[in-house]
Amino acid sequence: MEKTYRVVAWSTGNVGAHAIAGIDARPDLELVGLWVSNPDKVGRDAGQLAHLGRTLGIAATDDADALFALGPDAIVHTAMADHRLFEALEDIQRMLRAGINVVSSGPVFLQYPFGVADASMIDPTIEAAREGGVSLFVNGVDPGFANDVLPLVLTGVSERIDEIRVSEVLNYGTYDQPMVIFDIMGFGRPLDELPMILQPGVLTMAWGSVVRQLAAGLGVELDSIEEWYERLPARETFDVDAGTIEAGTAAALHFELRGMREGAALIVLEHVTRIHDDLGPDWPQPAGKGCYRVQIAGEPNYTLDLQLLGGDGDHNTAGLKATAMRLVNAIPAVVESPAGLVTALDLPTVTGRGLVTR
């Protein structure tokens, strides 16, 4: 008989709601608890909070100790970490010390923090995992699957590699997360106002893990990582799901993290983010409504486009669901991994085992 893993979902936000649906979809996972930060959600059923149209028999709680006392095999942690980095690390360390495996969407630098963050930001979390005898896996779709497993698999059919470029090319107009859109990415703000994401070192902290992990997967050392970006203004005032973008304010962002080796970019992490499709016509364009792209220059040259489209017709829904399912589907492998921080380089192939519906 296949083993069943008991799981707690931690938050019901943009990613968390999809994680609950994903846990419910897998026959080898059992949802046993749900944590929420909003007092108004306490006592409500997980199925209701995940918009499943049915109840799951699990009531949300804000009592972390009660959830730890359940002795779950794993916690799917999807609480926002970008604006509360140290608090999120403390939460995760507490889970790990309690002997609970964790799969998490953040803090994103933990995808592969080596050479990206100071040891003081890494070691306490690894020590907490080893103390609890459990594992931590931080991933998603980006940073995550689209720029760790996907490009590394493609390099397996290369004869020579001169450059790897991994790109997200998406319109964020339907991404209903005002904090990310306005406060972190700076859309709708004056172009002479530098947003959080473009403060020196922030791009490297957020996506340097991608560049470093690809280098490790290829067995090469990088000399440095360089940051580059450009922005464009809105031509007119328009509304997006997160709010209003005024004419003349930031409405498109193109940035790169360049892993340098011997004076040239060897590994490039690129984001082309628009709020309106007409902006930056000379910038890279998506395949379909939005895509993650892997380009390998060498022999031969490869371009691989992963198009996103949710069942509701929205590419951003697909991205959120991909983030959630990357974590949920990895639970069995993470639980069975040695104690400590595990990365995509450590896990076996993760599949949608049990998700075939016919």
Digit-coded pLDDT (tens) for 27-48: 999 999 999 999 999 999 999 9
Please identify which residue in the block is written with the tokens 């921080």. Answer: 341
Residue ranges with strand state E in the chain: 5-10, 29-35, 74-77, 101-104, 135-138, 160-171, 224-233, 238-240, 243-245, 250-261, 264-274, 291-299, 302-307, 340-342
pLDDT value at 83 more than 80: no
| Cα(231)–Cα(264) distance, integer angstroms | 24
Judgement on whether residues 12 and 36 belong to the same structural domain of the protein: yes
**82 within domain boundaries:** yes
What pLDDT score was predicted for residue 160?
A: 98
Of all residues in the chain, the percent with pLDDT exceeding 90 is: 97
CATH number at residue 120: 3.40.50.720
- 334-353 mean pLDDT: 97
**353 within domain boundaries:** no
Closest by alpha carbon to 19, among 87, 106, 125, 127?
A: 106
pLDDT value at 25 more than 70: yes
Judgement on whether residues 105 and 169 belong to the same structural domain of the protein: no
Judgement on whether residues 159 and 298 belong to the same structural domain of the protein: yes
**348 within domain boundaries:** no
pLDDT value at 92 more than 90: yes
| Cα(225)–Cα(343) distance, integer angstroms | 20
- Residue 288 · residue 309 · CB < 8 Å: yes
What pLDDT score was predicted for residue 341?
A: 98
What pLDDT score was predicted for residue 293?
A: 98
Q: Which amino acid is at 207?
A: W
pLDDT value at 278 more than 70: yes
Look up residue 184 and give its two tokens.
């972190």
Q: State CA 250 to chain mean position distance.
A: 24
pLDDT value at 103 more than 70: yes
- What mean pLDDT value characterizes the chain? 96
What pLDDT score was predicted for residue 85?
A: 86
Query: What is the band of 119 on the pLDDT scale with cuts at 50, 70, 90?
Result: very high
pLDDT value at 337 more than 80: yes
Closest by alpha carbon to 262, among 203, 220, 231?
A: 220
Judgement on whether residues 304 and 324 belong to the same structural domain of the protein: no
How are beta strands 264-274 and 160-171 bridged, if at all?
A: parallel
- Residue 91 · residue 110 · CB < 8 Å: no
What pLDDT score was predicted for residue 16?
A: 96
Judgement on whether residues 325 and 296 belong to the same structural domain of the protein: no
**225 within domain boundaries:** yes
Sign of CA pseudo-dihedral 12, 18, 21, 26: negative
Q: How far does the chain reach from its first CA to its final CA, in angstroms?
A: 20
Q: How many domains does the chain have?
A: 2
Judgement on whether residues 324 and 256 belong to the same structural domain of the protein: no
**How many C-alpha atoms does 132 have within 13 Å on its Cβ side?**
27
| Cα(227)–Cα(290) distance, integer angstroms | 24
Q: Which amino acid is at 166?
A: V
pLDDT value at 84 more than 90: no
pLDDT value at 82 more than 80: no
**How many C-alpha atoms does 51 have within 13 Å on its Cβ side?**
8
pLDDT value at 80 more than 90: no
Judgement on whether residues 115 and 164 belong to the same structural domain of the protein: no
Sign of CA pseudo-dihedral 159, 214, 166, 137: positive
Judgement on whether residues 82 and 150 belong to the same structural domain of the protein: no
State which residues form the domain around 119. 5-138+318-342
- 261-289 mean pLDDT: 97
Judgement on whether residues 120 and 214 belong to the same structural domain of the protein: no
Query: What is the band of 1 on the pLDDT scale with cuts at 50, 70, 90?
Result: low
The region of weakest confidence among 76-85, 139-148, 308-317 is 76-85
- Residue 318 · residue 310 · CB < 8 Å: yes
What pLDDT, in 10s, does the model give residues 167-197? 999 999 999 999 999 999 999 999 999 999 9
**350 within domain boundaries:** no
**347 within domain boundaries:** no
| Cα(328)–Cα(20) distance, integer angstroms | 9
Judgement on whether residues 216 and 262 belong to the same structural domain of the protein: yes
Type and span of the H or E element at 289: none
Query: Each residue of 119-146: b (16+ CB within 10 Å) or e?
Result: eebbeebbebbbebebbbbbbbbbbbbb
Q: For 290, list phi and psi in degrees, rounded to 5.
A: 180, 150
What pLDDT, in 10s, does the model give residues 208-227? 999 999 999 999 999 999 99
Of all residues in the chain, the percent with pLDDT exceeding 70 is: 100
Judgement on whether residues 119 and 242 belong to the same structural domain of the protein: no
Query: What distance separates the 2 farthest-apart alpha carbons in the chain?
Result: 61
